[in-house]
């Protein structure tokens, strides 16, 4: 169904949205704490009814240039409807009525394939200040092509740095930032030999490329890549290959035969120990990096790998931001593993606020919507004059997801944190 709505929101940004344009990374922790306190205060004044009542179905006119026209491109129909709904709710949540600033949301449903382009061409006739979205890279490329002759900045929720340029910002946690933080931390722990488990697809190729680039720059010695078919993964065979199980099993049988030929008490004692094992010999890696595309794959591998003697008590498990889920805490195989993620503590407070207001949990991308809409709204307060240059503050900003900095070439730098899973809790390591 064709969906195009214009919302004039007579609502302004939270009194303190958590974006401090003059703060440096060294002061992040203190300012983030202040931000969390402000959320709790504002939470008391917002509910579903008040948000709905603030939305007026009105059209812009020529006298409304104090309004900021934000185009939200979200999947509001189809299989990704819940993602779009969560992002839209979060955009609404990023503003309130205290200061009477005016924002126009023009909403385009990217889930409607037939109407997507016609919707976009239609809104281009208006005075658009910025486009936020889409979520998926294929849609982002469509939007960029349609708007190539327009000087309209786009902030996409994608994490694929390949698509960024001087007017398209990739606002998600980029793979290269995630890998850089993980491997930098791992080097400090003196880990040198790694096995890497990734899907055989475009995502896996990106992981391999980023790791090899980091390896080359930092003179790291060993990375052994194992690829699996994400469409029909054989978790048992892949796990067996990662551990070099068959060769190590053959080594065990060979060693047992050798000791059986010896007639000594020492050989007999060693035989007793070996017959309790499945393999013999050390693994050729001391850390295992698992970069899957969904958590079910992570869960399957973490359950099966120990069966093939990849013991998480002896091998350091390393993961991606996918592990920043409560489901990770229930996986025994991930205990003692660590991963890179955006700020978990801040996000939990955001999730609690969202749950109280909307009676549902937000999607993992929701905080991105809250951060970018809140930032733009806040910057617009200055004489009702938002410019894209205001996003390029050299010290960056602090939001729900932590510190980030946007530059004129479309790059969005982030500093993910390293968390450890221990005793069903997330512990901050850096």
**119 HSE (CA, 13 A, CB side):** 23
| Fold of domain 4-173+343-414 | Rossmann fold (3.40.50)
CA distance 396 to 372: 12
The answer to whether the bond into 247 is cis (omega within 30° of 0) is no
CA distance 138 to 128: 22
Q: Rounded mean pLDDT of 66-94?
A: 90
Count other C-beta atoms under 10 Å from residue 316's C-beta: 18
Assessment of whether the complete model's pTM goes beyond 0.75: yes
Q: Is the pLDDT of residue 370 over 90?
A: yes
Domain pair 4-173+343-414 / 175-244+283-341, same fold: yes
| Domains of the chain by residue range | 4-173+343-414, 175-244+283-341
Do residues 370 and 400 lie in contact, with contact meaning Cβ atoms separated by under 8 Å?
yes
Domain boundaries 175-244+283-341, corresponding CATH code: 3.40.50.2300
Q: Which residue has the higher pLDDT, 109 or 260?
A: 109
CA distance 383 to 386: 8
CA distance 362 to 354: 7
Q: What is the pLDDT of residues 208-231, one digit of tens each?
A: 999 998 888 877 768 999 999 988
CA distance 252 to 259: 11
Q: Which residue has the higher pLDDT, 323 or 96?
A: 323
Q: What is the pLDDT of residues 170-180, one digit of tens each?
A: 898 888 899 99
């Amino acid at each position: 169904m064709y969906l195009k709505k214009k919302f004039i929101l007579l609502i302004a940004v939270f009194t303190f949205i958590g974006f401090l344009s003059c703060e440096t990374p060294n002061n992040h922790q203190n300012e983030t704490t202040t931000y969390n306190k402000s959320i709790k205060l504002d939470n008391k004044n917002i509910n579903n009814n008040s948000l709905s009542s603030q939305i007026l179905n009105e059209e812009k006119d020529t006298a409304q240039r104090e309004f900021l026209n934000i185009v939200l491109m979200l999947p509001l129909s189809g299989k990704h409807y819940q993602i779009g709904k969560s992002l839209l709710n979060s955009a609404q949540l990023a503003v309130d009525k205290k200061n009477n600033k005016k924002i126009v949301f023009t909403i385009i449903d990217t889930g409607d394939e037939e109407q997507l382009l016609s919707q976009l061409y239609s809104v281009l006739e208006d005075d658009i200040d910025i486009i936020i979205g889409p979520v998926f890279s294929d849609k982002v490329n469509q939007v960029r092509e349609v708007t190539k002759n327009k000087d309209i900045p786009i902030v996409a929720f994608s994490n694929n740095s390949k698509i960024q340029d001087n007017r398209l910002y990739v606002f998600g946690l980029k793979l290269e930032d995630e890998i850089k933080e993980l491997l930098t931390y791992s080097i400090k722990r003196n880990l040198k030999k790694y096995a890497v488990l990734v899907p055989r697809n475009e995502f896996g190729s990106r992981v391999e490329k980023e790791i090899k680039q980091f390896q080359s720059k930092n003179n790291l010695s060993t990375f052994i890549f194992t690829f699996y078919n994400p469409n029909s993964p054989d978790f048992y065979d892949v796990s067996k290959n990662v551990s070099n199980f068959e060769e190590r099993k053959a080594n065990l049988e060979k060693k047992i035969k050798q000791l059986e030929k010896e007639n000594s008490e020492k050989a007999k004692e060693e035989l007793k120990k070996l017959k309790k094992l499945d393999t013999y010999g050390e693994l050729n890696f001391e850390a295992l990096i698992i970069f899957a595309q969904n958590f079910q794959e992570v869960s399957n591998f973490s359950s099966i790998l120990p069966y093939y003697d990849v013991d998480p008590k002896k091998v350091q498990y390393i993961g991606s931001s996918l592990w920043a889920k409560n489901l990770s805490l229930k996986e025994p195989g991930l205990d003692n593993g660590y991963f890179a993620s955006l700020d978990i503590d801040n996000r939990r407070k955001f999730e609690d606020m969202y749950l109280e207001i909307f009676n549902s949990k937000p999607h993992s991308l929701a905080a991105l919507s809250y951060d970018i809409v809140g930032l733009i709204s806040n910057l617009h307060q200055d004489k009702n004059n938002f410019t894209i240059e205001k996003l390029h503050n050299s010290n960056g900003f602090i939001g729900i997801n932590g510190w980030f900095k946007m530059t004129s070439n479309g790059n969005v730098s982030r500093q993910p944190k390293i968390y450890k899973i221990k005793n069903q809790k997330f512990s901050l390591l850096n």
